[in-house]
Amino acid sequence: MFHSMESAEERTRSLGRELLESGRITGLLSIIADREGTRPGFLRKPDEVDSLVLEPRYLLAPVCRTLQAMDPEATLGIVARGCDERALVELAKAGQVNLGRIVLIGLACEEEIARQCGCGRPYPRKIDVGQKIDGSKGNVSSGEGSGRPGQQLDWNAELARCLKCYGCRNACPLCICPECKIGLAMWVPTGVVPPDVFSFHLIRAFHLADKCIDCGNCQDACPAGIPLRELHRHLLKMLEERLGYVPGLEVDRQSPLFTDLKHGPFNGPKIPRWMNTLGENEL
Amino acid sequence: MTGSALIIGGGVAGIRASLDLAGMGIPVHLMEREPFLGGRLLQLDRLYPTDHCAWCPVWPLLRQVGSHPLITIHSSSEVHSIQEEAGAYQATIVHLPTYIRGERCTGCGECLWACAKKSTVAGREGPLPILRPNSYVIPKVFAINRNLCGECPGCQEECPFGAIDFKMPQETRLLKIGAVILASGFDPGRLEGLEEYSYGAHPDIISAMDFEAWIAESGPNAGQVLRRSDGQKVERLAFVLCAGSRDRRFHEYCSGVCCMYAVKEALWACQRSRDLWATIFFTDLRACGKGFQEYVQLAEETGRIQFIRSRPGRIQPMGENGALRVLYEDTTQRNTREMIVDMVVLAQPIIPAAGSENFASLFGVDRGRERFILLPDDKFLSPATSQSRVLACGCCQGPADAVQSVISASAAALRAAEILAQRRAA
Amino acid sequence: MSLKERIGAFLCTCGKTLGRSLSIEDLKSQALRLPGVFFCQVHDALCQEDGQAFLKEQIQSFHPDGVLLAGCSPRGHGALFQRLISQWGLDGEALEVVDIREGCAWVHADNPDVASAKAQNLLRMGWAKLSRKELSRDASIPLLKSALVVGSGPAGMAAASAMAGQGLRVYLVEKDGTMGGWLRRLSFLYPSGDEGANILQRLKQEIEPSLLITVFLEHEIAGARGYVGNFQVHLRGGEGPKTIRAGAVVLATGAQPLVPQGLFNYGELKGVMAQEELESQLLRGQNLGGTTAFIQCAGSRIPQRPYCSSICCPVALKNARLIRLRWPQSRVFLLYRDMMAPGVDLEHLYHQAMDAGVRFLRYSPEHPPLVEGMDCVQRVKVLDSLSGRETALEIDRVVLSTPLLANPQNAELAGMLSLLTDDYGFFCDRNLLEPNRTVTPGVYVCGTSRWPCSVQEAILQGQAVAASVAALLRAQRAKASDFGVLDGVKGWPAVVNESACSGCGNCFQACPMKAIGLQPFDGRRVARVNKVRCTGCGTCATLCSGGAIQTQSLSDSMAIKMIQEAFK
Amino acid sequence: MRGSMEPKVLIFACDWCPGLGSDRAGQDRLSLPSGFRLVRLDCAAQVSGEWVIKAFSEGIDGVMVMGCHLDACRHQGANHRAHKKLETLRWLLDGLRIEPERLCLSWGMGREALPFQAEVQKFVSTLKLLKTGEKA
């Protein structure tokens, strides 16, 4: 276990070194550990790569976005786990990152991390480091506690714990709006804690309905330990069942919310299909 | 200001033509026999092949016509006489009284309810004498049909604005006209002639126009498909196409639109009652417009609409209000069969509107095959009739669906504009 | 200017009838309690002359900056009141009509308390909407008095000459060396039987002498920019590229018949020809005696090409009859599925063909005719679905009626002008009653580029388009909001707050009218609305998490306030 | 109004079909449930999920979105997008164990007086059931 961990790190470092030496990338984005501690770091020289570590898991995609905003010309290498890759894909769809200038070192998560995250897809599409292991099917546990399926949750009680710290929003790699609606008094009454279930949580969740990549950051960030992920998992399930869409997988597949019921362009006045759609609330 | 144009017929063709002419800056007199504009199109429920409700595409047009400064609407009017002088017409238009003063009526509907309550015409069945504009047709005012009205003071008492005036005189207006567009539209042909279909002998043998109104959501049954005889749900429905057209005894020509509206009505009937099966007896299924074949496919896909190439020889009522027996020869199977159905819809022919004869004679316009207005040039370079300053569009020059009507209307409008421009130049 | 401070309220009692089911007095006091409402007048019928006069006098003496009018449904007299108050120096959009008649008094006639309470809520909602309504942001665009016609077939020529007749400058672009399109290759035209050449001549006579029409032969469209009133269209070919500025674009790109390669042994057996080849033979006056078999629906009304090309039947009827009349000894068979001859003239043509001795055989798609022969066609085997008998016809030639295919160019043009094409590549019309308009304002389509049609219909459509264009370009300028989903329907364009826009492109991807683009704005990409294309459906606003893009007719702040007032 | 049995219903209605339906209902003097308020829109696609959410947070019992029937949208299928979007919101409500029935999507049923009345009544009775369910 520990041994393979070692080698995974080594392998990542050597890949990173190669990339830097070849000059394909301006720098490598990863977690680094040195005497100043463990943190996300941007490695520019091959010899700096020794400080690269894989643990703890930390979502680097938002950092990548910031870096690209600072220097659009740079080509970034990034040690990307499944969640990183999916986040980057969604960010790319939203025009926030330029995948053309990003080189991924695909890292499949260790079993332990995957279990801790309760991740459904603990691996990127292109795996450079580590072994692909199947994700957990069931619902994630809130914190370390025993897993409870979202439908059985008493949401009133759960959400009553909310401190309105906006941690869930701030931690979300895909919350990219300059002005967030749940920060505006127009949408969410100010000075009310816990916030009104409808306005605060529903609006947040609704905005991410077709974007959430199930990284779990929102839940990890929640000081009140609200199992927000259950909610998103439920949405993702419906999204996949009803519209056959999973966020974060393909760059060129747009969200079904942007298209017609019959996907593809709508062709002006055309033959109606009321036979199967009229008055139905199901898709 | 130079000559203005007279458009006869406030159906969709007339409306389109007047809007285009007014758009080109030409004053227009739009004349309609009925109290309201809209014509036949507003009697329909849906339009093929897009299944839009007939009303929605029309009301923006109506609203424009109603508010356009260059368009004068003469509703419930008729052309009384025409004098031709110096390349122009002097038209005398008679405005028949509607007995409700337009400038006072707000369409509040009090009279209608008063009439329903108080009317002295004892035991009158059927429609009220007061005609209500079907939600915002133009003009927005009510009208009274004198033939049905008993002239009780009921509505007068109730009207908050004293708009009702049984002494309302008929007005005559003199118009100077530079060009005329005939858009008098069509009438559904009579079906009484076809004994073999015993139309009129049984309430469930019904004409297509009536059927559309009968099953309309706005209709008497709020969209249910019921037998007229006993109000039972219709389960087996038959459409007989070419009833009276493509028939040397009545009208040799093809009425053009029946195939498609039969398919449309079949589709909507199927949608509105889940356990309805329809049969369409056709000769040639003439679905040759944009999207028509797909529309027919849609009908086939339902699995509840079957097409049989045949012209039934006989439709027999089985008893007073009983079912109907349709005797037919399936020409592709070459055997005579019979089918028992609850209701038969006859696709009646489209014939020139009653008025068109009168207009033709008034303007000295020749009529061609089957009494439709003749366009000598075959519309090749203009939709002009035998009189160069009289143009024709829409169904008065041959059966046409809504699309063809508006196309010919716009073309006629353009030609009219050219004529008037020439007059200006002269 | 957002919040309205001086709102004038008017209550219309519809001849005191509304007073029966709701309390006008309470409504009035409610109105006067609303912030910003500084007077409230009750009248019996504002829609009538005296009512309008009253309205005018009140508005001109008190100068409100917004008018709140409770009465009948906005659909009833809303447009009228808008027109009126804009005549009296107020922005037409500064009016809010509240429906307390149809939607309140009349449907709750049995319950006055409910009706009164609801009327007050509705009034508050109307106030909420009005008081938060931004001054409408619109754009005024110039309208060039010129039009560009693509394609010089019958439709294009008719459109060009007609538009010139209306005093428009017309540019006629033709990719071939001469005008006329398919009309050049047609012998006689149905239903009248005129010579194609003759009609072509008459059309040319109207175009060539005209000083207003410039014809660009051997030119094609390389690209197009701009919007209604001011398109910039780039041409290639001829002596180098040029750019034309036109107020409207008319597409008459036409269509071309399918070459029936591989159908009924076409290309393998001599004597198997397509309809247009027969046309040219008729033109050349070739001898067409002997026996001819026409096969309809060759390549159409089949699964891979389900549509009916609608002109093949009349054309075949016309030619079949022609052959019979010219060569009385000849025998002509017409193999059809459904005889598409709707209307008076075509049915008459059908009868004429029968009378001329053309023999008709109806085949079913399950048993298509078999064309046989060694290198030269000899016989056609067909199962007549009516008689049920299989007959083998000894014939000299087979004529295949093939469908018209959309011009492959259409897709490219559709891309340039963001139009919609149907599954077969023909241009989509915007609305059933506006058959020659496209979803792009100022772009029109006529003739066979819309759908297969006869020369006669093509010319008619060309003239129809000309009428629309002439009407469109008559004014000097137009407002962006004039171009809604239908003529006469306002389309208030959505507005973008750049500072709040993240450039995520949801709006741009989702917009059903293709009205939104992304463009640079201090270092980032932000959404930009094409005010002319936008019809204000609001899809963009609902998908913008940040609320950066808003519809003007009902912005978020208006909606929220209305929701809050709904049950106060 | 709070506590009263009559549910508070907010109807967002496209002005094309349902707007007409509501007017026709009035002209025919049909009786409608007392607790509904109608907001006219240019297109049902204008209704954003946040509005619906906000309506609930303001204590409104049910929101109904009425539009033209699905393939007859004047805006080239804007209501398709609206349908999917609001459907997603219903899933979300479901996920939070809030009855999704409180949000009703109705396409093409509201053009005529009687169907309009029927739709509204149906929705109101559903909401009444929910209320009683809560009480029980």
| Closest alpha carbon within chain A to C485 | A268
A:D CB pairs within 8 Å: 111
Enumerate the residues of chain D whose CB falls inside 8 A of the CB of residue A276. Answer: none
Tell me: pLDDT of D1 over 60: no
What is the pLDDT, as a whole number, of residue B134? 66
E strands present in C317-465: 331-336, 359-362, 370-374, 376-383, 390-394, 397-400, 404-406, 443-445
Indicate the pTM of the whole model. Answer: 0.90
∠ CA C385-C386-C391, rounded to 5°: 65
Which stretches of C34-153 are DSSP H helices?
49-62, 74-87, 112-131
| Token pair belonging to C482 | 């004039």
Q: Is the residue at A217 inside a domain?
A: yes
C366, C381, C403 - which closes a domain: C403
Q: Please give the helix or strand (H or E) that residue D66 lies within, else none.
A: strand D62-67
Tell me: pLDDT of A264 over 60: no
pLDDT tens sequence across D48-98:
999 999 999 999 999 999 998 777 788 888 989 999 999 999 999 988 888
Helices (H) and strands (E) in chain D, counts: 4, 4
Give the domain extent around C524: 495-551
Tell me: pLDDT of A281 over 70: no
Q: Which of B271, B295, B302 sits opposite A271 (nearest CB)?
A: B295
Tell me: pLDDT of A209 over 80: yes
What is the pLDDT, as a whole number, of residue C2? 53
Q: What subunits touch chain C, counting only 3 or more CB pairs under 8 A?
A: A, B, D
Which residues fall within 8 angstroms of residue C419, CB to CB, at 6 or more apart? C413, C427, C428, C438, C439, C440, C443, C445
* Residue C239 main-chain phi, psi, to 5 deg: -90, 75
In angstroms, how far is CA D89 from the centroid of its own chain?
Answer: 14
Tell me: pLDDT of B184 over 80: yes
Tell me: pLDDT of B334 over 90: no
Tell me whether residues B301 and A275 touch, CB distance under 8 A.
Answer: yes
Mean pLDDT within D105-124:
88
Same-domain check for residues C126 and C199: no
Is the torsion defined by CA of C527, C530, C531, C536 positive or negative? negative
Specify the number of domains making up chain A: 2
Same-domain check for residues A12 and A101: yes
E strands present in A67-225: 76-80, 102-106
Mean pLDDT within C157-181:
95
Pairing relationship of beta strands C219-227 and C230-237 according to DSSP bridges: antiparallel
Q: Is the residue at A267 inside a domain?
A: no
Give yes or no for a contact between C342 and B399, defined as CB atoms under 8 angstroms apart.
yes
What is the pLDDT, as a whole number, of residue A1? 41
Distance from CA of C136 to the nearest CA of A (A): 22
Residue whose C-alpha is closest to residue A186's, from A166, A204, A200: A200
Tell me whether residues C513 and D75 touch, CB distance under 8 A.
Answer: yes
DSSP-derived 3-state class of residue A76 = strand
The residue among B128 and A68 whose pLDDT is bigger is A68
Distance between CA atoms of B36 and B14, rounded to whole angstroms?
13
| Closest alpha carbon within chain B to A279 | B271
| Token pair belonging to C503 | 């450039």
Same-domain check for residues A170 and A99: no
* CATH for C19: 3.40.50
Which stretches of C166-249 are DSSP H helices?
196-207
Give the domain extent around A154: 150-255
Question: Could you tell me the domains of chain D?
Answer: 9-135 (3.40.50)
What is the pLDDT, as a whole number, of residue B423? 76
Enumerate the residues of chain B whose CB falls inside 8 A of the CB of residue C432. Answer: 47, 50, 52, 57, 402-403
Give yes or no for a contact between B290 and C451, defined as CB atoms under 8 angstroms apart.
yes
Same-domain check for residues A99 and A175: no
Tell me: pLDDT of B236 over 80: yes
User: What burial class does residue A276 get, using C-beta atoms within 10 Å of its C-beta: 0-12 exposed, 13-18 middle, 19+ buried?
Assistant: exposed
∠ CA D122-D128-D132, rounded to 5°: 150
Distance between CA atoms of C239 and B27, rounded to whole angstroms?
45
Distance from CA of B210 to the nearest CA of D (A): 18
D23 and chain B in contact, CB less than 8 A: yes
Tell me: pLDDT of A278 over 70: no
What is the pLDDT, as a whole number, of residue A24? 92
Q: Is the residue at A51 inside a domain?
A: yes
Q: Is the residue at C556 inside a domain?
A: no
| Token pair belonging to D16 | 């094309």
Give yes or no for a contact between C288 and C329, defined as CB atoms under 8 angstroms apart.
no
What is the pLDDT, as a whole number, of residue C170? 97
Tell me: pLDDT of C43 over 50: yes
Q: Is the residue at C560 inside a domain?
A: no
To probe the interface with C, which of D29, D36, D40 has the most C CB atoms within 10 Å? D40
What is the pLDDT, as a whole number, of residue B360? 92
Q: Which of B109, B113, B217 sits opposite D115 (nearest CB)?
A: B217
DSSP-derived 3-state class of residue C446 = coil
Enumerate the residues of chain B whose CB falls inside 8 A of the CB of residue D18. Answer: none
Q: Is the residue at C488 inside a domain?
A: no
Distance between CA atoms of D48 and C541, rounded to whole angstroms?
7
Q: Is the residue at C55 inside a domain?
A: yes
Tell me: pLDDT of A196 over 60: yes
Residue whose C-alpha is closest to residue B259's, from C347, C439, C35, C137: C347
| Token pair belonging to B156 | 């007068």
Q: Across chain A, which distance is largest between two alpha carbons, in Å?
A: 69
Q: Which of D10, D27, D76 sits opposite C512 (nearest CB)?
A: D76
Same-domain check for residues C60 and C179: no
Enumerate the residues of chain D whose CB falls inside 8 A of the CB of residue B218. Answer: 24, 111-114
Distance between CA atoms of D6 and C554, rounded to whole angstroms?
28
What is the pLDDT, as a whole number, of residue C88? 92
Same-domain check for residues A106 and A11: yes
* CATH for C357: 3.50.50.60
Same-domain check for residues A86 and A16: yes
Mean pLDDT within B389-410:
94
* Residue D37 main-chain phi, psi, to 5 deg: -125, 135
Pairing relationship of beta strands D62-67 and D103-107 according to DSSP bridges: parallel
pLDDT tens sequence across B297-315:
989 988 899 999 999 999 9
Same-domain check for residues C127 and C62: yes
Distance from CA of C510 to the nearest CA of A (A): 4
Tell me whether residues A269 and C432 touch, CB distance under 8 A.
Answer: yes
pLDDT tens sequence across C463-490:
999 999 999 999 999 988 888 888 778 8
In angstroms, how far is CA A133 from the centroid of its own chain?
Answer: 19
What is the pLDDT, as a whole number, of residue C277? 94
* CATH for C520: 3.30.70.3270
| Token pair belonging to C529 | 């609305």
Q: Is the residue at A141 inside a domain?
A: no
Same-domain check for residues C22 and C118: yes
What is the pLDDT, as a whole number, of residue A147? 41
Q: Is the residue at C510 inside a domain?
A: yes
A95, A117, A139 - which closes a domain: A117
B254 and chain C in contact, CB less than 8 A: yes
Same-domain check for residues A67 and A165: no
Tell me whether residues D92 and A260 touch, CB distance under 8 A.
Answer: no
Please compute, for residue A137, the number of CA atoms within 13 A of its CA located in the half-sphere on the CB side: 0
What is the pLDDT, as a whole number, of residue C420? 83
Q: Which of A272, A275, A278 sits opposite B50 (nearest CB)?
A: A272
Q: Is the residue at A135 inside a domain?
A: no
Give yes or no for a contact between C145 and C52, defined as CB atoms under 8 angstroms apart.
no
Pairing relationship of beta strands C95-99 and C66-71 according to DSSP bridges: parallel
Distance between CA atoms of B46 and D69, rounded to whole angstroms?
12
To probe the interface with B, which of D20, D79, D119 has the most B CB atoms within 10 Å? D20
Which residues fall within 8 angstroms of residue C167, CB to CB, at 6 or more apart? C145, C212
Q: Which of D56, D88, D97 sits opposite A155 (nearest CB)?
A: D97
| Closest alpha carbon within chain C to B383 | C460
| Token pair belonging to B202 | 């049984």
Specify the number of domains making up chain C: 4
Tell me: pLDDT of A275 over 60: no
Give yes or no for a contact between B96 and B77, defined as CB atoms under 8 angstroms apart.
yes
Residue whose C-alpha is closest to residue C337's, from C309, C357, C356: C309
Which stretches of C64-222 are DSSP H helices?
74-87, 112-131, 154-165, 196-207
pLDDT tens sequence across C485-495:
887 788 889 99
Q: Which of B52, B108, B403 sits opposite C435 (nearest CB)?
A: B403
Q: Is the residue at A277 inside a domain?
A: no
Same-domain check for residues A99 and A160: no
Q: Which of A149-153, A278-282, B20-24 has the lowest mean pLDDT?
A: A278-282
What confidence tier does C327 reach under pLDDT thresholds 50, 70, 90? very high
- Report the complex ipTM: 0.89
Question: Could you tell me the domains of chain B?
Answer: 4-96+170-187+351-425 (3.50.50.60), 190-348 (3.50.50.60)
Distance between CA atoms of B29 and B93, rounded to whole angstroms?
10
Q: How many angstroms separate the Cα of C107 from the Cα of each of C298, D33, D126?
A: 59, 8, 20
| Closest alpha carbon within chain D to A282 | D87
Is the torsion defined by CA of C89, C95, C100, C103 positive or negative? positive
User: What burial class does residue A38 get, using C-beta atoms within 10 Å of its C-beta: 0-12 exposed, 13-18 middle, 19+ buried?
Assistant: middle
Torsion of CA B73, B77, B82, B86, to 10 degrees: -10
Give yes or no for a contact between C316 and C273, defined as CB atoms under 8 angstroms apart.
no
Which residues fall within 8 angstroms of residue B247, CB to CB, at 6 or more apart? none
Give yes or no for a contact between B243 and B191, defined as CB atoms under 8 angstroms apart.
yes
C136, C169, C200 - which closes a domain: C136
What is the pLDDT, as a whole number, of residue D132? 82
pLDDT tens sequence across B36-83:
999 999 888 888 888 778 888 888 899 899 889 999 999 999 999 999
Enumerate the residues of chain C whose CB falls inside 8 A of the CB of residue B103. Answer: 48-49
pLDDT tens sequence across A32-64:
998 889 999 999 999 999 999 998 889 999 999
E strands present in chain A: 27-34, 37-43, 52-53, 76-80, 102-106
DSSP C106: T
Distance between CA atoms of B7 and B390, rounded to whole angstroms?
10
E strands present in B259-366: 277-282, 305-309, 314-317, 324-330, 335-341, 343-346, 350-352
Q: Is the residue at C126 inside a domain?
A: yes
Q: Which of B57-66, B130-139, C304-313 has the lowest mean pLDDT?
A: B130-139
Q: Which of A269, A271, A274 sits opposite B271 (nearest CB)?
A: A274
Distance from CA of B222 to the nearest CA of D (A): 6
What confidence tier does D134 reach under pLDDT thresholds 50, 70, 90? low
pLDDT tens sequence across C8-32:
999 999 988 999 999 999 999 999 9
pLDDT tens sequence across B4-43:
999 999 999 999 999 999 999 999 999 999 999 999 998 8
Instruction: Say which amino acid occupies C146.
Output: S
Give yes or no for a contact between C65 and C6, defined as CB atoms under 8 angstroms apart.
yes
Same-domain check for residues A74 and A172: no
Neighbouring C-beta atoms of residue C124, cutoff 10 Å: 22
B24 and chain C in contact, CB less than 8 A: yes
Tell me: pLDDT of C412 over 70: yes
Distance between CA atoms of C274 and C45, rounded to whole angstroms?
69
Residue whose C-alpha is closest to residue D105's, from D11, D39, D3, D27: D11
Which residues fall within 8 angstroms of residue B169, CB to CB, at 6 or more apart? B97
Tell me whether residues B50 and A274 touch, CB distance under 8 A.
Answer: no
C403, C435, C462 - which closes a domain: C403
Sheet holding B205-207: strands in order across?
B205-207, B343-346, B236-240, B277-282, B305-309
Q: Is the residue at C489 inside a domain?
A: no
pLDDT tens sequence across C199-254:
999 999 999 999 999 999 999 999 998 889 999 999 998 888 999 999 999 999 99
Neighbouring C-beta atoms of residue A23, cutoff 10 Å: 8
Q: What's the residue count for chain D?
A: 136
Instruction: Spell out the long-range contacts of B271-275 with Cβ–Cβ below 8 A and sequence spacing 24 or more.
Output: B271/A274, B271/A275, B271/A278, B272/B215, B272/B223, B272/B224, B272/B225, B273/B224, B273/B225, B273/B233, B273/B234, B275/B233, B275/B235
